[in-house]
């Protein structure tokens, strides 16, 4: 933080402003509870209500009474998405332009790539707590584990239970990837299963605040599923075992047909081609192992859905469901990490059942199918990486005529800050970087008009994009810029960069202006893992020289 005195003054001013705003709102009883459910590494087509075959009746029920967004964008990767969602800013603005620094490996610098959440921003929890909300969180934090100032209780949450780091074992988390209750590390017992336990604790938190007073609550429930290791419970794994033996081409055709039937995509849509080997080119043992990997992934999502049912049932029993806004989304597209064919086999999941920390990984070939009909996956900002399901449910606030329909306007992560402020009657503070989002409440109210007139931007690992109305500029690192007319070509199949050079050049100039302003490393990217490896080699070389 470059100027702590200015920051302190701004926070004091913000606190006073919020106290005054809250005094005016104190008599209101209609402010909704707000729940944001974030899942980890789930593809665009995995949910039943987005075309998938995995059993997700509880999530589908939220969609049937709420809204499904078809063009909601994340930041392409785990912790950049969390940083943007929590702050209403771009990841680079809050110190997580790439990733959070690994435990006990500080990067040693400040700014866009410092590897932990900046002090010079405010979180949704900090804003809503000042507005009189109880602020609760369970699950994956991933905004800086070494620096206590970055932890949930220090960034606006009244109560927290979950994992401060990135990936961790669903059954047996431990070490630097263990579980924290408040600010204290805790040991889990044999009954622990992350997806279940995070929901159980969240429900207890809701019961506690409901018994305490009538003030609304904000819950951030951040599941680590279905991130690797794919620690499905055995029952759920067995439920899906054998259902993917026809392979990824068959799965993509089924999902696309269902998406068309739902009206999610146009009848004449051209799906992105699959990247990876033909299913029939693989041997019997490979195909059996790959069926097991996909069954583990499906089992993890099935468990998420069961827990969404548990949460909504709990809210209904308490009489809180009707006026609770629930947002459900994924932090990025399905994960290709683990190689083309993923990692794991039947041998890995028998004893103990899927509890290994080394873990099952989905892999590129299945990830492409899970992102049907889009291109690419996690890490990238083509549609397969950066566009994922987002469901909004609010029985009291979403009208019957509008409920169950699709929202086809563009929205993205920073919009949550502006939306929560409007829902709560709170104010985003002056003296900090301006919130980059706008409220999506008009879309929830059935006003089918764009909320984003100005461009929105992305960058991760040199993968970059800009969305400006129906135009999208996008590239993979070190490859040429591509240009797409998204109203005609959602799957990014017809590159117009050569035929529309003026539009391409105009958008490239705007993206570079944004990147410069936000300390984005370009044309050379910044990759924290490469930086740490280089630093390690330099230290080893220096040690040998001595």
* Residue 247 clears pLDDT 90, i.e. is over it: yes
% of residues, the chain, pLDDT over 70: 93
What domains lie within the chain, and their CATH numbers?
31-444 (3.40.720.10), 456-545 (3.30.1120.10)
- R_g of the chain computed on alpha carbons: 22
Q: Which of 18, 49, 78, 420 is catalytic?
A: 78
Cβ proximity of 211 and 157 under 8 Å: no
Residues in the chain: 546
Q: Tell me what pLDDT residue 442 has.
A: 97
The pLDDT value given to residue 23: 35
Beta-carbon contacts of residue 466 (< 8 Å; ≥ 6 apart): 455, 456, 457, 458, 472, 473, 474, 507, 510, 511, 514
C-alpha–C-alpha distance, residues 349 and 234, integer Å: 9
**pLDDT at position 527 over 50:** yes
Tell me how far apart the terminal alpha carbons of the chain are, to the nearest angstrom.
36
Is the pLDDT confidence value at 29 over 70?
no
Report residue 515 as tokens. 């990147």
Q: Cα(386)–Cα(403) distance, rounded to whole angstroms?
A: 25
Distance CA 109, CA 422 (A): 36
In this predicted structure, which of 2-16, 309-323, 406-420, 471-485 has the lowest mean pLDDT? 2-16
The 10s digit of each residue's pLDDT in 372-397 is 999 999 999 999 999 999 999 999 99
- Helix (H) / strand (E) element for 505: namely helix 501-517
The chain-wide mean pLDDT, for the chain, equals 93
How many Å apart are CA 162 and CA 157, to the nearest integer? 13
How far does Cα 57 stand from its chain's mean position? 21
d(CA 274, CA 103): 36
* pLDDT above 50 (res 246): yes
Instruction: Give the model's pLDDT for residue 134.
Output: 98
Strands 134-140, 159-163: pairing kind: parallel
State the Cα–Cα distance between residues 202 and 320, nearest whole angstrom: 14
3-state secondary structure of 460: strand
Judge residue 85's burial from the number of C-beta atoms within 10 Å of its C-beta, 0-12 exposed, 13-18 middle, 19 or more buried: buried
The pLDDT assigned to 1 comes to 33
pLDDT of residue 387: 98
Residue of 90, 92, 120, 142 with catalytic role: 142
Residues 202 and 159: their CA atoms lie apart, in Å, by 10
Report yes or no: 20 and 427 within 8 Å, Cβ to Cβ: no
Q: Which residues pair with 483 in a beta bridge?
A: 473
Give the DSSP letter string of 328-369: EEESSS---TT-TT-B--GGGGSSSTT--SS--B--HHHHHH
The 10 Å CB-count burial string (b at 16+, else e) for 349-382 is: beeebbbbbebbbbbbbbbbbbbbbbbbbbbbbb
Integer angstrom CA distances of residue 52 from 255, 274, 342, 371, 536: 6, 17, 20, 10, 44
- Per-residue DSSP letter, 151: S
How would DSSP label each residue in 73-115?
A: E--SSHHHHHHHHHHSS-GGGGT-SS-PPPTT------STTSS
Distance CA 435, CA 123 (A): 11
Return the H-helix or E-strand segment holding 33.
strand 33-39
Asked if residue 331 lies in contact with residue 262, where contact means CB atoms within 8 angstroms, the answer is: no
3-class secondary-structure state, position 174 = strand
Could you give the maximum distance between any two Cα atoms of the chain, in Å? Answer: 75
Is 18 an active-site residue? no
- Give dist(CA 151, CA 155) in Å, integer: 6
Listed residue (415, 479, 473, 474) closest to 444, CA to CA: 415
Distance CA 456, CA 80 (A): 15
Residues paired with 39 in a beta bridge = 330
Q: pLDDT per residue over 403-453, tens digit each?
A: 999 999 999 999 999 999 999 999 999 999 999 999 999 999 999 999 999
Residue 22: predicted pLDDT: 39
**Model confidence pLDDT, tens digit, residues 189-213:** 999 999 999 999 999 999 999 999 9
58 three-state secondary structure: helix
Would you call 227 a catalytic residue per the annotation?
A: no
User: Could you give the 3-state DSSP secondary structure of residue 396?
Assistant: coil
| Cα(64)–Cα(170) distance, integer angstroms | 30
Tell me the per-residue pLDDT of 348-362, one tens digit each, with 9 for 90 and over.
Answer: 766 677 888 888 999
**Quick one: tokens of 435?**
């919130």
Burial 453-468 (b: 16+ CB within 10 A, else e): eeebbbbbbbbbbbbb
Sheet containing 463-468, strands listed edge to edge, beginning at the edge strand earlier in sequence: 456-460, 463-468, 471-475, 482-485
Mean pLDDT computed over 115-139: 97
The answer to whether 125 and 455 have CB atoms below 8 angstroms apart is: no
> With 90 as the cut, is the pLDDT of residue 337 above it?
yes
Tell me what the mean pLDDT of segment 293-316 comes to: 98
Q: What φ, ψ does residue 85 adopt, rounded to 5°?
A: -60, -45
CA of 41: how far to CAs of 337, 404, 502, in Å?
10, 25, 36
pLDDT at 264 over 70: yes
Does the structure show a pLDDT above 80 at 497? yes
């Amino acid at each position: 933080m470059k100027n702590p005195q200015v920051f302190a003054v701004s926070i004091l001013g913000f606190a006073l402003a919020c106290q005054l705003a809250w005094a005016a709102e104190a008599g209101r009883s209609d402010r909704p509870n707000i729940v944001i459910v974030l899942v980890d590494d789930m593809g665009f087509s995995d949910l039943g209500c987005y075309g998938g075959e995995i059993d997700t009746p509880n999530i589908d029920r939220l969609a049937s009474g709420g809204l499904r967004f078809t063009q909601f964008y994340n930041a392409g990767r785990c912790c950049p998405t969390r940083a943007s969602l929590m702050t209403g800013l771009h990841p680079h603005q809050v110190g997580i332009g790439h990733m959070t620094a690994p435990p006990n490996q500080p990067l040693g610098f400040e700014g866009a790539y410092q590897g932990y959440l900046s002090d010079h921003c405010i979180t949704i929890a900090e804003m809503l707590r000042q507005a009189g909300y109880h602020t609760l969180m369970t699950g994956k934090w991933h905004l800086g584990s070494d620096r206590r100032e970055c932890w949930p209780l220090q960034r606006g949450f009244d109560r927290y239970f979950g994992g401060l780091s990135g990936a961790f074992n669903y059954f047996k988390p431990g070490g630097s990837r263990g579980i924290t209750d408040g600010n204290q590390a805790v040991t889990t017992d044999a009954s622990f299963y992350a997806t279940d336990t995070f929901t159980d604790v969240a429900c207890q938190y809701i019961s506690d605040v409901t018994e305490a007073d009538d003030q609304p609550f904000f819950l951030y429930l951040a599941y680590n599923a279905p991130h690797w290791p794919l620690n499905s419970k055995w029952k759920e794994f067995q439920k899906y075992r054998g259902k993917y033996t026809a392979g990824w081409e068959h799965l993509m055709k089924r999902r696309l047909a269902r998406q068309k039937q739902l009206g999610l995509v146009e009848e004449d849509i051209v799906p992105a081609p699959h990247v990876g080997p033909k299913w029939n080119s693989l041997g019997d043992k490979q195909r059996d192992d790959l069926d097991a990997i996909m069954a583990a992934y499906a089992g993890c999502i099935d468990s998420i859905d069961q827990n969404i049912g548990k949460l909504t049932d709990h809210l209904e029993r308490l009489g809180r469901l009707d006026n609770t806004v629930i947002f459900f989304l994924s932090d990025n597209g399905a994960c290709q990490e683990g190689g083309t064919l993923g990692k794991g086999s039947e041998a890995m999941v028998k004893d103990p059942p899927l509890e290994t920390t080394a873990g099952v990984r989905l892999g590129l070939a299945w990830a492409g199918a899970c992102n049907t009909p889009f291109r690419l996956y996690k890490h990238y900002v083509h549609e397969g990486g950066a566009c994922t399901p987002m469901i909004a449910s609010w029985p009291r606030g979403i009208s019957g005529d509008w409920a169950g329909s699709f929202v086809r306007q563009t929205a993205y992560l920073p919009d949550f800050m502006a939306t929560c402020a409007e829902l709560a009657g709170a104010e985003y503070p002056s003296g900090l970087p301006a919130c980059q989002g706008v409220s999506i409440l008009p879309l929830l109210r059935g006003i089918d008009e764009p909320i984003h007139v100005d461009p929105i931007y992305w960058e991760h690992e040199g993968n970059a994009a800009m969305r400006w109305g129906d135009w999208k500029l996008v590239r993979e690192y070190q490859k040429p810029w591509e240009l797409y007319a998204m109203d005609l070509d959602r799957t990014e199949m017809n590159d117009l960069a050569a035929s529309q050079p003026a539009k391409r050049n105009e958008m490239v100039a705007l993206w570079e202006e944004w990147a410069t302003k936000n300390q984005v490393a370009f044309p050379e990217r910044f990759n924290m893992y490469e930086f740490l490896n280089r630093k390690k080699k330099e230290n080893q070389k220096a040690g040998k020289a001595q």
